[in-house]
Structure 1
């Protein structure tokens, strides 16, 4: 009986605790750590540049990503498994640059003809994506200029009429703008901060405008969903494809918790809009065992489709957790926890707001301060003087 009890205890312990295993590449190129079913791999030979955005080409052959120094790289990820064809190198190759301005978002046009990049210095650049991108992308199609603060997000408006090449962008200036991206023409501007009533709430305070954090379009291009800092929910804009204008359709609030989405996305086949709010390494209140946690909260909006009339479907609403597809298993996987205190999320909301502004808003330094910062740069420290 005692042996049986010990065996059951050992099995329970094994199910709760997994040993961490480490493996080192013979030439110390990689270090990998295994913890239970999770495998973490760290490449010791890559640079320390931070990736700020990435996208895969429409044909699935190339991956592009940008770093915080304003350089866009391309990697060939196509299938080269033919017997008579030698495998190609997967090394990242720089193809274009924004000249030391942080690239905040990059996207491929639906037809794969262009790659569009946005940066911290208010610019949107439309570049022709060449047939041989590993040789560089040197032809600029247009610039979309008009934002007065950092450009935070981009989305293409899909149209049945191929002549309409439309793009929407969100910015730290609290506006969403509609563009003809092939020509760079600004078609319409919607002041979403004012539409959501956020500007009235901060009037008289020494505070910057609420930034647009993300946006996405419905498959038919008739509706744009917008996430804005300080808005506990989303804003829905109607995109009139014939007049090429934007107008407010509806503000959908998330009641009962301080949920301010930082990223949103919609599928092309199911009328659901997925929203997430997140922040990393936020201290937990009430002296929990885990002093810090990677907080995330996922909410889902149903009825996110346009019914062909002049208004949004009345069925549009935020689902309860039990109504979310796959419910508890999905939320546990994406959030890590099902129940997180309101105080923790309030702290996370403020932290996300501050971190985004600190990353994207362009800082201004005095001449003396610039010289001090130059001396502390890592690339300067690692240089050895010439003898």
Structure 2
């Protein structure tokens, strides 16, 4: 049986419902496929703007447990734009009706959730946890929502997950440098047993994936500062863009991981954001030449974007910001402690400031030209964005992400010490009678 350890003063540890550590979650942004809504996820809260009504949207959640109780880590619209999914550190998976913005169902898992996506026919949605398991659920409101394993990445954190434009594959990336292309099964509840191929070439964690058009091309970015273009059905590496070269490199700050990628649904444009980089890179993906070419570096002075998304008109939406979240122990947490933590998470999210910007035709729009105008900015930013607060929070989220995904490197001596300290290696002394 596990025993509680005392600190160096002999003081017993706090009750597990007390704070264990702190984490920071980056703000995310996404636009619905039809362009009716833009959503910012900040901490445990969703900020939604309805372009049709030119007003904010309040979500309704009568499921149990209601709302999120910790940071939202991934969001996704279904291909038809009728459904929306949110997952995060509270181990809750929530499916929303993206017309009425009511929660259809809440599913509780045993591990924190890192990624979510929908099948192309919107009949299924998949969630990946930090243990490397992908579960599949039906989007039907009447379905029984017991977790069913679709595939797994052998104890490696899955960092991103998307379905191919033709619906034939589900592509997953992980902390262990891998991109896996798996055949999407006709009967998802029976599991996805066919690994079609791997896209191998990154030499650090892979952070993000995006499809370039419908020509069988895949983009990936990672901690090795590289953006790679793949022919994903064969696993062939076609092109590589090194973000450390030219005026993007900065030896004083070190190399910058690629944080997020997005591809325009209307043209061959691709966008990327880097850690500690006040701007966004716009590329063209030449399908004929199967190459990636940097078109322009659009600067966002004072802000490093934490999330990005194209809308159906080719506008690129950027958000900067992050929210602190409190991580609690899993054992002996009372319902009262869970409720208090949820209230705290929602309060932190409501108080968090973000900054939203829009890029059109490779130019940054001023605030007055942003679609939705002041009403949209008030809704998504929460309050007038303070440059210092937003930038500080964004950088803290970047560091937290990098710390989570970077595999620890130990010397031989450190490895031996860790082996000796392992609880499962304790030797019990037996005295002979």
Asked whether the equivalents of residues 31 and 41 of structure 1 are also in contact (C-alpha less than 8 Å), the reply is no
Aligned residue for 1:353? 398
Q: Return closer, same or farther for 1:137/1:40 CA change in 2, 3 Å cut-off.
A: closer
Aligned residue for 2:360? 302
Aligned residue for 1:6? none
Q: Return closer, same or farther for 1:219/1:100 CA change in 2, 3 Å cut-off.
A: same
RMSD, aligned α-carbons: 2.9
Q: Return closer, same or farther for 1:367/1:49 CA change in 2, 3 Å cut-off.
A: farther
Q: Residue 219 in 1 paired to residue 269 in 2?
A: no
Match of 1:145, SS state, is coil
Q: What's the CA shift for 1:295?
A: 3.1
Q: Return closer, same or farther for 1:50/1:326 CA change in 2, 3 Å cut-off.
A: same
For structure 1, list consecutive stretches of 5 or more residues without a partner in the other structure.
1-22, 80-86, 283-289, 304-315, 376-387
Asked whether the equivalents of residues 198 and 230 of structure 1 are also in contact (C-alpha less than 8 Å), the reply is no
Aligned residue for 1:263? 307
Match of 1:362, SS state, is coil
Q: Residue 331 in 1 paired to residue 377 in 2?
A: yes
> In terms of mean alpha carbon deviation, does 357-366 or 92-101 score higher?
357-366
Return the index of the structure with the highest Cα Rg.
1
Instruction: Report the TM-score when normalising by structure 1.
Output: 0.72
Q: Residue 59 in 1 paired to residue 121 in 2?
A: yes
Q: What's the CA shift for 1:361?
A: 1.2
> In terms of mean alpha carbon deviation, does 59-68 or 292-301 score higher?
292-301
Q: How does 1:305-320 map to 2 (within 5 A)?
A: 316-320=362-366
Q: What's the CA shift for 1:229?
A: 1.1
Instruction: Report the TM-score when normalising by structure 2.
Output: 0.65
Q: Return closer, same or farther for 1:33/1:131 CA change in 2, 3 Å cut-off.
A: closer
Q: Residue 174 in 1 paired to residue 211 in 2?
A: no
Match of 1:189, SS state, is strand
Q: Return closer, same or farther for 1:106/1:291 CA change in 2, 3 Å cut-off.
A: closer
Q: Residue 198 in 1 paired to residue 248 in 2?
A: yes
Q: What do residues 69-114 of structure 1 show as CA deviations (whole Å, max 9, x unaligned)?
A: 00001001147xxxxxxx5322221111000100000000011110
Q: How does 1:274-293 map to 2 (within 5 A)?
A: 274-281=317-324, 293=351
Query: Matched residues in 1 for 2:231 and 2:401: separation?
Result: 28
Q: What's the CA shift for 1:31?
A: 4.6
Q: Return closer, same or farther for 1:103/1:170 CA change in 2, 3 Å cut-off.
A: same
Query: Matched residues in 2 for 1:271 and 1:263: separation?
Result: 16
Query: Matched residues in 2 for 1:50 and 1:125: separation?
Result: 21
Q: How does 1:1-387 map to 2 (within 5 A)?
A: 30-32=64-66, 46-78=108-140, 87-159=142-214, 164-195=215-246, 197-199=247-249, 201-203=250-252, 207=254, 209-220=255-266, 222-255=268-301, 258-268=302-312, 270-281=313-324, 293-303=351-361, 316-337=362-383, 339-365=384-410, 366-369=415-418, 372=421
Query: Matched residues in 1 for 2:278 and 2:62: separation?
Result: 46
Q: Return closer, same or farther for 1:71/1:370 CA change in 2, 3 Å cut-off.
A: farther
Count of aligned positions: 306
Q: Return closer, same or farther for 1:266/1:32 CA change in 2, 3 Å cut-off.
A: closer
Query: Matched residues in 1 for 2:299 and 2:256: separation?
Result: 16
Q: Which has the higher contact order (CA 8 A, sep 6+)?
A: 2
Asked whether the equivalents of residues 177 and 189 of structure 1 are also in contact (C-alpha less than 8 Å), the reply is yes
Asked whether the equivalents of residues 123 and 144 of structure 1 are also in contact (C-alpha less than 8 Å), the reply is yes
Q: Return closer, same or farther for 1:275/1:33 CA change in 2, 3 Å cut-off.
A: closer
Asked whether the equivalents of residues 322 and 328 of structure 1 are also in contact (C-alpha less than 8 Å), the reply is yes
Q: What's the CA shift for 1:222?
A: 2.1
Q: Return closer, same or farther for 1:374/1:24 CA change in 2, 3 Å cut-off.
A: farther
Asked whether the equivalents of residues 77 and 90 of structure 1 are also in contact (C-alpha less than 8 Å), the reply is no
Query: Matched residues in 1 for 2:200 and 2:182: separation?
Result: 14
Aligned residue for 1:16? none
